[in-house]
Amino acid sequence: MSVDGRVVELSGRYLDTLILLVAEEGRLVTKARLLDEVWKGVPVTDEALTQCVRSLRKALGDKAGNPKFIETVPSHGYRFIASVTRAPTRDTMGDVARDAPHARDDRRHALARFTGMGRAGLIGGGGAGLLGGVAYGFAGIADGGVGGSLSGLLVIAALTAVVGMIGGSSVGFGVEAASVFSQRRGAWFLLGGAVGGLVVGALYRLAGLDAFNLLFGTAPRAMTGAGEGLLLGAAVGAGVWIAQGRRRRIALLAGAILTGSAGVVVALLGGRLMGGSLAALATQFPEARLRLDHLGALFGETSFGVISQATTAGLEGALFGGAMVWALHYEQRRSLPRGS
């Protein structure tokens, strides 16, 4: 092997390890696969694999803390993250034919991973929306709002669940799309979540305003929109990034803290999440039987004011983010190859 024209001596197993990593071009190669295909069943400890990778990094001039060639995925395996250029050979057509089944498997796996992340987001977001809707339903009913009936609670819970499902699936798709294009490297999770949240927030606001204009001839002046979606989606993406290679409770905590903080920021900047939107609707439509003003008394306010909105937005964000990051983290772990 040569590096910048300099001949580097490597043992056969170390060279085979490098070839396998390079051949996967950014895809995760698990420890189990390396031991199986390179050591071919010879019983060795993980330290042998660690020493192998350490030697390869030294030969390539790479650093574990800031990798340019070999990236460690804690507890799972390694990826070769540098760009790979294939030299043309006379047997290129034969190689393509042999690699076609592998390429088809990769596409199927990528599609399954993409749809799985959207499904995980839908479940996580929908579950958070349902719980939040039940809480707001009880808050409205406690003061005689929503007709003081179970039907009102069900309406609000169903509405927030649907909103959570749509938002969650969009953020899940965004996180996975960005991570695929970037070979699953760090900050791209944040970008994917932000774009997914931005798109669904904009569509939700547009569709909501049209629906109110159609049904009532007027639309609420304040509704959740693109800005709120962008901040929450970015926070979810950051939570997924932080949770990489860590336990699920860390994922849950990261999602809750980051997205809860984003919810507070949204409220302080004048944006509205579900609680703020419901309060704005009740104010604009006085005949509505939903009332959240009495929640302000819990925070020393005479109405659903800034403190009430910031607090409930933080709680909404924490619930949504914790559920989302946990669900997406679980799906990522579930989709890893066996043996990882």
φ/ψ region of 45 (left if φ > 0, alpha if ψ in -120 to 50, else beta) reads beta
The pLDDT score that the predictor gives to residue 314 is: 92
Q: What are phi and psi of 74, to 5 degrees?
A: -50, 130
Once rounded to an integer, what is the mean pLDDT over residues 42-54?
84
Within this chain, do residues 159 and 266 fall inside the same structural domain, yes or no?
Answer: yes
Within this chain, do residues 75 and 117 fall inside the same structural domain, yes or no?
Answer: no
**How confident is residue 172, by pLDDT bands cut at 50, 70 and 90?**
confident
Tell me which of 198 and 55 has the higher pLDDT: 55
The pLDDT score that the predictor gives to residue 145 is: 44
Domain boundary among 39, 60, 80: 80
| Within a domain: 167 | yes
CA distance to 14, 20, 54, 76, per residue, from 62 (Å): 15, 18, 9, 20
Domain with 73 in it: 2-80
> Would you tell me how many other CB atoms lie within 10 Å of the CB of residue 244?
17
Within this chain, do residues 196 and 76 fall inside the same structural domain, yes or no?
Answer: no
> Would you tell me how many other CB atoms lie within 10 Å of the CB of residue 44?
14
The pLDDT score that the predictor gives to residue 149 is: 61
Within this chain, do residues 186 and 130 fall inside the same structural domain, yes or no?
Answer: yes
Q: Which residue has the tokens 């924490």?
A: 318
pLDDT digit string, tens, across residues 4-16: 556 667 778 888 8
| Within a domain: 95 | no
Question: What CATH number should be reported for the domain holding residue 6?
Answer: 1.10.10.10
**How confident is residue 261, by pLDDT bands cut at 50, 70 and 90?**
very high
Within this chain, do residues 192 and 119 fall inside the same structural domain, yes or no?
Answer: yes
Report the percentage of the chain scoring pLDDT > 70.
Answer: 75
Domain boundary among 30, 59, 80: 80
The pLDDT score that the predictor gives to residue 229 is: 83
DSSP, res 87: P
**How confident is residue 224, by pLDDT bands cut at 50, 70 and 90?**
low
180 neighbors 118 (Cβ within 8 angstroms): no
Within this chain, do residues 183 and 282 fall inside the same structural domain, yes or no?
Answer: yes
Within this chain, do residues 172 and 229 fall inside the same structural domain, yes or no?
Answer: yes
What angle do helix axes 150-181 and 226-243 make, rounded to 10 degrees?
60
The pLDDT score that the predictor gives to residue 119 is: 92
Once rounded to an integer, what is the mean pLDDT over residues 184-212?
69
Q: Is residue 264 over pLDDT 90?
A: yes
pLDDT digit string, tens, across residues 279-332: 777 777 766 666 777 777 788 888 888 898 899 889 998 999 899 888 888 887
Within this chain, do residues 197 and 75 fall inside the same structural domain, yes or no?
Answer: no
**Single pTM value for the model:** 0.63
> Would you tell me how many other CB atoms lie within 10 Å of the CB of residue 142?
13
| Within a domain: 89 | no
Domain boundary among 37, 56, 80: 80
Within this chain, do residues 65 and 127 fall inside the same structural domain, yes or no?
Answer: no
- The sign of the dihedral angle between the CA atoms of 332, 336, 339, 340 is negative
Token pair recorded at residue 263? 């919810």
| Within a domain: 99 | no
Tell me which of 236 and 40 has the higher pLDDT: 236
Question: How many domains is the chain partitioned into structurally?
Answer: 2
Q: Is residue 273 over pLDDT 80?
A: yes
Closest CA to 336 of 245, 226, 222, 232: 245
Q: Is 77 helix (H, G, I), strand (E, B) or coil?
A: strand
| Within a domain: 319 | yes
